[in-house]
Every structure is written in structure tokens, then in C-alpha cells.
Amino acid sequence: MSDTDLDTTARTILTENDQGGYTIPTKGLYPYQWNWDSVFVALGFATFDQDRAWREIEMLFEGQWRDGMVPHILFRKDDPSYFPGPSVWGTDGGPLPSSGHSQPPVAASVIRDLVDTDPSGSALERAAALLPGLMQWHRWFLSYRDPKSQGVLAVIHPWESGRDNLPDWDDALRAVEVKDIEPYERKDTSHVDPAMRPHKEDYDRYLSIMSACRNVDWDPAKVAKTCPFFVADPGITFIFLRANRDLLNLAERLGKTEEVAEIQNWIARMETGAKTLWHDELKAHVAVDQRTGKMTNGISSASFLALYAGLADEHTISSLQAHFDRIASKVRYLMPSYDPDHESYEPLRYWRGPVWAMINYMIARGFAEAGDAVRAEKLRADTAALIETSGFAEYFSPETAEGAGGGTFSWTAAIWLTWASPSHVEKAA
Ligand code: GLC
């Protein structure tokens, strides 16, 4: 298929996954509105329909909880083909049925992009309407995912990281006691090859964490204190730090002086804290189990997001460039979700090796902003080659480009349109 045909297919995927203002990640496997999926999807819509792009994010914020959280899934209509559905989550925190935790807060960054690229001026008005919700959500993260003000965000469930099956969660997950779970039937393994999905032992623990949180009625302060899983995640920490910088820019443009001062404090706290995730021997940022203090020992694709977060001192840049080149010599397509030199690496099991287009997009922005256009372009070209070879899959093998997981995937289509497509590159030139 030619690149212009791929542009058309990508727009068709977004339109067909559109449920009337919000977009599902893919039919079958993920039939609801997912948090960070929707936000990346907005970037794709923005290439041909600005109004629809804003609608996507506005509908996500319609599900915001009273305490400020924006949930990771909004169950707008019941779909028995998905497990665990609303009755298993048992939440009551917001206006719509939803899951009980959040996902990486990319929204402020994408909103800033929408404002930067929309010359009409109405974009800034729509951003202004979303600003209070964004402020509340960011405050929620600081209060309940960084309760000791350490400047790093923890996740209370592997799913909150958005990188569900990452080896970094293995030890902390193994320590979760399996209890309070009813007999259940998974649905994910009937949609895609079980060899690419998590194991049953992991699933039992995913559900046990949910039970523990349900037992405290998803009260965020109690969850922070008692949740059996509480792991500081470089991915969500870097995305949040970046999002605060973009939120600051929006607040400044909107003349919100109090908010500006508040966000500046958040940035200072996160800049100091994020550095504590640095692993001296590995020379990269890693996850830390906050219940045990133990650092993980592997480099994930999120380690490269330090640059996206603006932590671009010489030492960080040169360490990440060296890892980048080492990994590039091992696999044909960057950036594997986990280090191919690590024993837990598996090229096709999700989040243990495969490549995700939207992670490449963020890593590339970080490299470009740090002045490394060559590595940024390698990421774009690899992402384009993966999509040209295997279409709009959920994720790809870094070794063979084989597409895996769900097909006709919304965020893969969106990232193609907004960044990877050669026709987009030509337009931007
Ligand atoms: C998987 C991914 C998560 C994503 C969801 C929907 O659970 O790990 O990041 O949001 O699918 O695409």
C-alpha cells in the first residue's frame, strides 16, 4: 500500500472506531474509551478535523471523578465481550461507570499541541474550559500517587502505567497475595493469541489488587496507604513532568497567575524527584517498588522519556544515546518496550519487548528537543516502516516487524497521521 493509501486507511480507522465523539482503541479487544488512547487519537483527528479532536478530550473529561481523577477506562455502554467490566471494578467516584485508577496524563501536552497548531484562536478557548479539570487531575496525582512528596509518581496497578505487562512489575506483582477474587473468565485471550498476553498467575493478582482497592471503596488516600502494589514508574513520572511544563505554558497564555505559581512548584518537585529513579550502574532511570524500596534492573522504553520530560543534562543525554545505539545494533526496529539484552525480553509478548508507535513518538520528541535530530528521525523512519510492513497493529515485533495484538488500532493510526507518515513530514517541511 502506498503512503497516501495508508493516510486514507488511517483516517478510516479513526472514523470507524469513532463511537460518536469518543473513539475505542480497536473493535473486539478494547470496546470502551481508554484514557491515553483517546488523547493520542485527538492528535490524529486534529490532522483533518480539529473540532472532533477537542471533542475526544472533552468526552474523556466528562468521566472525571469528584476527587479529580480521570479514569483509565470509561464504560459508556455495557459490552459483555470485555473483562473486567464495571461490576468487577465496583467504583462510584464519578458521573460515568469507570475503572478505579488512572493512566499516563498525556492530556495537557496534547492540548498544548492542539493550541499551538490551531491558528483560529477558538482552540485557546477550549483549552481554557479544560484547564480546571487538568489542574484537578494533576493535583490528584500529586496527592495520591506521590503522598510523601518525593517528586515521583507511583502506580497502584500495572494497568495504571499503561505498560501493563512490563517486567518491571513482576516482583512487586508476585508479592501481591491472591485473595478476594471470584471465579472469572478472561476475554482478552479469546480475541488475541494467549502467547502474547499475560499469564493467569498475573491476572489473578491484577484482580486481587482491584479487590483490595474495592475493599476501601477506592478512597484515594486509603488506596495510597494500603494498596498491595505501589511502584514508582519512570514512564508516568516523566509524562507527568512534561505535562506540567505544557500545562504551565497554557496557564501562562491564559493569564492564570495563581495556577502558574502552583505548577512551577510541581515542576521543581518533580525535577528533583525524577532524578532519584536513576540507576547508577545501568545509567538510566528505572522503576522503584515503594513498598520495599527495591529498584528494578532493566531499561524500558520509558527510560528514554527522560528527554521528553526535559531532563536533558549532558550525562543523561549521552547515557541514553549509548543505550539507543546498543539497542539499535540488536534489533531492526526501535524502540523495544524492554531491553533486548535483559533476560525478561520477549519480542512479541506485550510490553516485554514489542514496539508501540506512540511511545516512539514521545521518545523522538525528547531526542529532537535535546538537539538529536538523527536519532529522532531513526525512530520516525522505523515507526513508518513497521506500519508500512504490517499495517495499523496494536504493536510490532522489533525484530521482524510482525504486527501483533489488536488490528486496526486507533492510536497507531493517529500517530501515523500526526508524525510517522512521510506525507506529514513533507507537509511539515
Ligand atoms: C492495553 C495497553 C494500554 C492501552 C490499552 C488500550 O491495556 O497496555 O496502554 O491503553 O491496551 O489500547
Predicted confidence (pLDDT) per residue in 369-412, tens digit:
999 999 999 999 999 999 999 999 999 999 999 999 999 999 99
Closest CA to 73 of 171, 159, 147: 159
Domain 3-424 CATH class label: mainly alpha
**Catalytic pick from 3, 67, 164, 262?**
164
224-244 burial, b at 16+ Cβ within 10 Å, e below that, comes to beebbbbbbbbbbbbbbbbbb
Ligand 1 neighbour 40 (Cβ under 6 A): no
Ligand 1 neighbour 399 (Cβ under 6 A): no
Does an H or E element contain 413, and which? helix 410-415
Cell of 372: 538529536
Cell of 111: 492540548
User: What is the rounded CA–CA span in Å between residue 165 and residue 88?
Assistant: 20
Ligand 1 neighbour 169 (Cβ under 6 A): no
Q: Are 339 and 345 in contact (CB under 8 A)?
A: yes
Ligand 1 geometric centre to CA of 338 (Å):
16
Report how far apart, in Å, the C-alpha atoms of 266 and of each of 73, 146, 255, 315, 413 are: 26, 11, 18, 24, 33
318 burial type by CB count under 10 A (0-12 exposed, 13-18 middle, 19+ buried)? exposed
User: What is the rounded CA–CA span in Å between residue 219 and residue 217?
Assistant: 5
Q: How many CA atoms lie within 13 A of 132 on its CB side?
A: 5
Instruction: Based on the residue annotation, tell me whether 170 is a catalytic residue of this protein.
Output: no
Closest CA to 73 of 81, 55, 85: 85
Query: Alpha helices of 62-121 — where are they, by DSSP H?
Result: 86-89, 107-117
Instruction: Based on the residue annotation, tell me whether 164 is a catalytic residue of this protein.
Output: yes
User: What is the rounded CA–CA span in Å between residue 209 and residue 214?
Assistant: 9
- pLDDT tens per residue across all 429 residues of the chain: 888 899 999 999 999 999 999 999 999 899 999 999 999 999 999 999 999 999 999 999 999 999 999 999 999 988 988 999 999 999 999 999 999 999 999 999 999 999 999 878 899 999 999 999 999 999 999 999 999 999 999 999 999 999 999 999 999 999 999 999 988 999 988 888 888 888 999 999 999 999 999 999 999 999 999 999 999 999 999 999 999 999 999 999 999 999 999 999 999 999 999 999 999 999 999 999 999 999 999 999 999 999 999 999 999 999 999 999 999 999 999 999 999 999 999 999 999 999 999 999 999 999 999 999 999 999 999 999 999 999 999 999 999 999 999 999 999 999 999 999 998 777 765
Q: Are 287 and 233 in contact (CB under 8 A)?
A: yes
Rounded to 5 degrees, what angle do the CA atoms 237, 312, 377 make?
95
Q: Are 279 and 213 in contact (CB under 8 A)?
A: no
User: What is the rounded CA–CA span in Å between residue 228 and residue 161?
Assistant: 16
Atom nearest to 350 CA in ligand 1 = 8
Domain range list for the chain = 3-424
Residue of minimum CA distance from atom 12 in ligand 1: 25
327 burial type by CB count under 10 A (0-12 exposed, 13-18 middle, 19+ buried)? buried
Contacts (Cβ under 8 Å, ≥6 apart) of 174: 205
Q: Are 158 and 166 in contact (CB under 8 A)?
A: yes
Ligand 1 geometric centre to CA of 34 (Å):
7
Q: Are 204 and 129 in contact (CB under 8 A)?
A: no
Query: Alpha helices of 84-181 — where are they, by DSSP H?
Result: 86-89, 107-117, 122-144, 170-174
DSSP β-ladder status, 288-289 and 231-232 = antiparallel
Does an H or E element contain 319, and which? helix 314-328
Ligand 1 neighbour 289 (Cβ under 6 A): no
Q: How far is CA 121 from the centre of its chain?
A: 28
0.85 cut: is pTM over it?
A: yes
The beta strands (E) that lie in 192-282 are given as: 231-232, 278-279
How many other C-beta atoms can be found within 10 angstroms of the C-beta atom of residue 257? 10
**pLDDT digit string, tens, across residues 79-99:** 988 999 999 999 999 999 999
Ligand 1 neighbour 25 (Cβ under 6 A): yes
Judged by DSSP in three states, 231 sits in strand
Ligand 1 neighbour 37 (Cβ under 6 A): yes
